[in-house]
Structure 1
Amino acid sequence: MQHIPPLWHAPETHLARHQPDHPILYFSPRVLHQTAARFQVGFPGLVTYAVKANPHPAVLSNLVAAGIETFDVASPGEMAAVRAASPTAVMHYNNPVRSQAEVQAGIEHGVASWSVDELSELEKLTDVPRSCEIAVRFALPVSGAAYDFGSKFGAAPEQAVELLKRVAAAGWSPSLCFHPGTQCEDPNAWVEYVAEASRICEAAGVRISRLNIGGGFAANRDGIAPDLERAFDAIAQAAIRAFGSNHPVLICEPGRAMVSEAFTLAARIKGMRKNGDVVFLNDGIYGGLVDIRDMGLPGRVYVVSGDGAHRTKTATPRVVFGPTCDSLDRLPDGLPLAQDAQVGDYVLIPGLGAYSSAMSTQFNGYGLSDVATVIELIEANPGKTAFDSQRFNG
């Protein structure tokens, strides 16, 4: 008989009942479905999901249930995960550097779209069926994102012109793709890329049927929901200006923005020093909090006692270490925690569905692997603590 996991009302309910001494992610399928619907209604084209952000089976199966039929994969492992969720899913293999074994795996899994940014990588794809799409990935020095993906992948526009010619001449369906960078809050980044895509097509003399504008959509970091619709509208208008009304089909591949809000992470306070100014959690940068190291402190933090009640005293910034023996296991200084926080309490951080469990290690025997399903990701009116920035001096 299939085991169906229990559905809890909220993280606080589960914490009070079980008192877990390990970090745990709380997942709300309802929130994930709402986010998927927002993209499908608002984005002017095909919505896919970047599996790298969170490949958990519950995420993939719920996205399939929400109507997502196409997935951006970066490895044979992700292909297998998608196939387990949906035998009929369409896969785009947009990691442009592959071994021959990985190319063969993509062919065997029936990958429909591939990306390239270098002639030597295109030459590896000789055996890919000509019924497939090959998208030339290009990069521009465009700002607006938390960090730039173009430093690793993407051909310069003049190189993209030559690659696009070769793809078309070899008989594949030619396309273009790019990625503006993660946590991109400036729609002009996509606008500049779309305009350049038109110039590349004109210089190559190649008509493309699809243009993949990548991911990079901002997720909620400070409690203010990002204006995704503003980005959607800017992308749609840019495509019309650049290509006309008969523009290529647009494709997006959100990862972070799709899955972040569907999860809240809970870590337990295992120790406090220096009158509470230094806090030790049972999770850190080698676990589910790894993304905070690169993206900065979150704007939403709650402290919950062992009985599930929220600590409500004014929050003050703390120095926070993770549980491992490595002194580098330290969050950026200043994480605001309620003044009445105690050892044994739980720190709840919403919006950590992306790159948390996906990047968690088991260093020193610690790590994030447990997921509980909830209806709500935070109790109603929990009394969010205020951040007293005056007390922290670095």
Structure 2
Amino acid sequence: MQQFPPFWSDPISHLLRQQPDVPVLYLSPQILQATARRFRGGFPGLVTYAVKANDRPEVLDNLVAAGIDTFDVASPSEMAAARRAFPQAVLHYNNPVRSRDEVAAGIANGVASWAVDDPTELSKLADVPKSAELAVRIALPVKGAAYDFGAKFGATPDLAVELLRRVDQGGWHASVCFHPGTQCEDPRAWAAYITEAARICERAGVTLARLNVGGGFAADRCGKVPDLNAVFSTIRAVTDRVFTARTPALLCEPGRALVAEAFTLATRIKGMRAGGRTIYLNDGIYGGLSELRDMGLSRRIRVIAVDGTMRQGAPIPRVVFGPTCDSLDRLPDGLVLPADAQDGDYVLFDGLGAYSVAISTDFNGYGLHDIVSVQRLTGNRNLPA
């Protein structure tokens, strides 16, 4: 069931009127739907959504409204979330390590596509209907991403050849999938994976109907818009070149790049020390800012006074702590905030829709829970082209 809550005009109008003392995530449905349409129009194949990035009903409902009907799920809970948003949703279960109970849940939910990267895990899928697709997930030592998923998931090329043959001989629809790593901006990463996928298929003697080129598409964290069109063009061109017998249909599973730009996270300064060089926010690494610890600081920050004016003092690097009593609740040093920032000001982080509310905790009674829909995100760029 689609849920579209009442709109405010923009984050600042809500902050001035409500004066929230808890972190708030502002959603622009217009930007979210425009981003989904951009992917669907630009990517040369099927666009699915990786639910893990943000599984809130507001997100799933707006993506369905924009034409997304296939979802990359990693758990029975995510299957249920996708089906609540769209009862006819097509489910792709691309987490390649599952308990037997999770496999049974996937079968019961009619999962259409499964990923596999190990013989033991393949044996667990014996009862999966032959009408399903089984995609062999590969891993390569490819650079270009903020961090690589290959240490956890993915078969070597030699193992992938064996698995692909077993999938094909087992009567399932054989496919190959990969993930180039999160926040990947280098089209050559996709080119390397696609080229190796073609070699694996040739060695295995299996013709693919479909190739899943994963997620990993980058979002803007520092004010530079990633060139997704260059990635899309590379994917199409390399696939056409290296698959000589039959060019497989393509699909992708973006998460971050679909939802990040549609959100702004508003936090508040709850204390200042050391002459303002140390700042305490009402959110931190146990909340919506958790990714900053591993991904690095965002540069897309605004500081708003309680009267709505923007702080414009000289930028000064700060030490920033979150609200909990844990001393580990500290952002990477050097977050740049205006010199005139004061206790009680709001600190807004633009482009923070992915892996914010999704991995926020309630540690010490804090956490990110509130999502407010707005007509526009003041200070963010215009809608995606």
Shorter-chain TM-score category?
Answer: over 0.9
The answer (yes or no) to whether the contact 2:207–2:246 under 8 Å persists in 1 is no
Deviation string for 1:245-275 (max 9, x for gaps)? 8410011000011100010000010000011
Structure 2 Cα separation of the partners of residues 11 and 31 of structure 1? 14
Which residue number in structure 2 is paired with residue 389 of structure 1? none
Instruction: Please give the secondary structure, in 1, of the residue aligned with 2:68.
Output: coil
The answer (yes or no) to whether the contact 2:269–2:344 under 8 Å persists in 1 is yes
Alignment of 1:332-343 (within 5 A): 332-343=332-343
Structure 2 Cα separation of the partners of residues 6 and 13 of structure 1? 14
Deviation string for 1:283-326 (max 9, x for gaps)? 00000000111111111110011122211222211110000011
Alignment gaps of 5+ in structure 2: none
Instruction: Please give the secondary structure, in 2, of the residue aligned with 1:347.
Output: strand
Which residue number in structure 2 is paired with residue 378 of structure 1? 378
Shift in alpha-carbon separation, 1:268–1:245, aligned structure 2, 3 A: farther
The answer (yes or no) to whether the contact 2:4–2:58 under 8 Å persists in 1 is no
Which residue number in structure 2 is paired with residue 384 of structure 1? none
Corresponding position: 1:247 with 2:247: yes
Which residue number in structure 2 is paired with residue 266 of structure 1? 266
**Number of corresponding residues:** 380
Structure 1 Cα separation of the partners of residues 100 and 380 of structure 2? 52
1:282: Cα distance to partner? 0.3
Q: What amino acid is the match of 2:365? A: G
Structure 2 Cα separation of the partners of residues 160 and 4 of structure 1? 44
Structure 2 Cα separation of the partners of residues 5 and 205 of structure 1? 52
Corresponding position: 1:231 with 2:231: yes
Q: What amino acid is the match of 1:161? A: V
Q: What amino acid is the match of 2:61? A: S
Q: What amino acid is the match of 1:6? A: P
Which residue number in structure 1 is paired with residue 41 of structure 2? 41
Q: Larger deviation: 239-248 or 352-361? A: 239-248
> Hey, which bits of structure 1, 4+ residues long, moved more than 6 A?
none
The answer (yes or no) to whether the contact 1:10–1:379 under 8 Å persists in 2 is no
Instruction: Please give the secondary structure, in 2, of the residue aligned with 1:199.
Output: helix
Q: What amino acid is the match of 1:227? A: D
Instruction: Please give the secondary structure, in 1, of the residue aligned with 2:291.
Output: helix
Corresponding position: 1:322 with 2:322: yes
Provide the alpha-carbon RMSD of the alignment. 1.3
Alignment of 1:78-157 (within 5 A): 78-157=78-157
Which residue number in structure 2 is paired with residue 352 of structure 1? 352
Which residue number in structure 2 is paired with residue 58 of structure 1? 58
Alignment of 1:168-207 (within 5 A): 168-207=168-207
Q: What amino acid is the match of 1:326? A: D
The answer (yes or no) to whether the contact 1:161–1:203 under 8 Å persists in 2 is yes
Which residue number in structure 2 is paired with residue 275 of structure 1? 275
Corresponding position: 1:221 with 2:218: no
Shift in alpha-carbon separation, 1:195–1:379, aligned structure 2, 3 A: closer
Which residue number in structure 2 is paired with residue 9 of structure 1? 9
Corresponding position: 1:74 with 2:74: yes
1:5: Cα distance to partner? 2.8
Deviation string for 1:8-34 (max 9, x for gaps)? 111000000000000010000011111
Alignment gaps of 5+ in structure 1: 382-394
The answer (yes or no) to whether the contact 1:263–1:350 under 8 Å persists in 2 is yes
Q: What amino acid is the match of 2:194? A: V
| TM-score, normalised with respect to structure 2 | 0.97
The answer (yes or no) to whether the contact 2:8–2:374 under 8 Å persists in 1 is yes
Q: What amino acid is the match of 1:94? A: N
Which residue number in structure 2 is paired with residue 366 of structure 1? 366
Structure 2 Cα separation of the partners of residues 31 and 8 of structure 1? 15
The answer (yes or no) to whether the contact 1:15–1:307 under 8 Å persists in 2 is no
Q: What amino acid is the match of 2:293? A: R
The answer (yes or no) to whether the contact 2:3–2:58 under 8 Å persists in 1 is no
The answer (yes or no) to whether the contact 1:219–1:260 under 8 Å persists in 2 is yes
Structure 2 Cα separation of the partners of residues 107 and 377 of structure 1? 41
The answer (yes or no) to whether the contact 1:12–1:309 under 8 Å persists in 2 is no
Which residue number in structure 1 is paired with residue 310 of structure 2? 310
Q: Larger deviation: 241-250 or 365-374? A: 241-250
The answer (yes or no) to whether the contact 1:12–1:379 under 8 Å persists in 2 is no
Shift in alpha-carbon separation, 1:234–1:3, aligned structure 2, 3 A: closer
Q: Larger deviation: 370-379 or 123-132? A: 370-379
Structure 1 Cα separation of the partners of residues 62 and 268 of structure 2? 28
Structure 2 Cα separation of the partners of residues 87 and 380 of structure 1? 33
Deviation string for 1:110-163 (max 9, x for gaps)? 110000000000000111110000000010000000000000000000000000
Instruction: Please give the secondary structure, in 1, of the residue aligned with 2:134.
Output: strand
1:169: Cα distance to partner? 0.6
Q: What amino acid is the match of 2:362? A: Q
1:379: Cα distance to partner? 5.1
Instruction: Please give the secondary structure, in 1, of the residue aligned with 2:283.
Output: coil
Structure 1 Cα separation of the partners of residues 11 and 154 of structure 2? 41
Instruction: Please give the secondary structure, in 2, of the residue aligned with 1:275.
Output: helix
Structure 2 Cα separation of the partners of residues 379 and 119 of structure 1? 50
1:4: Cα distance to partner? 5.8
**Residue identity (%):** 65
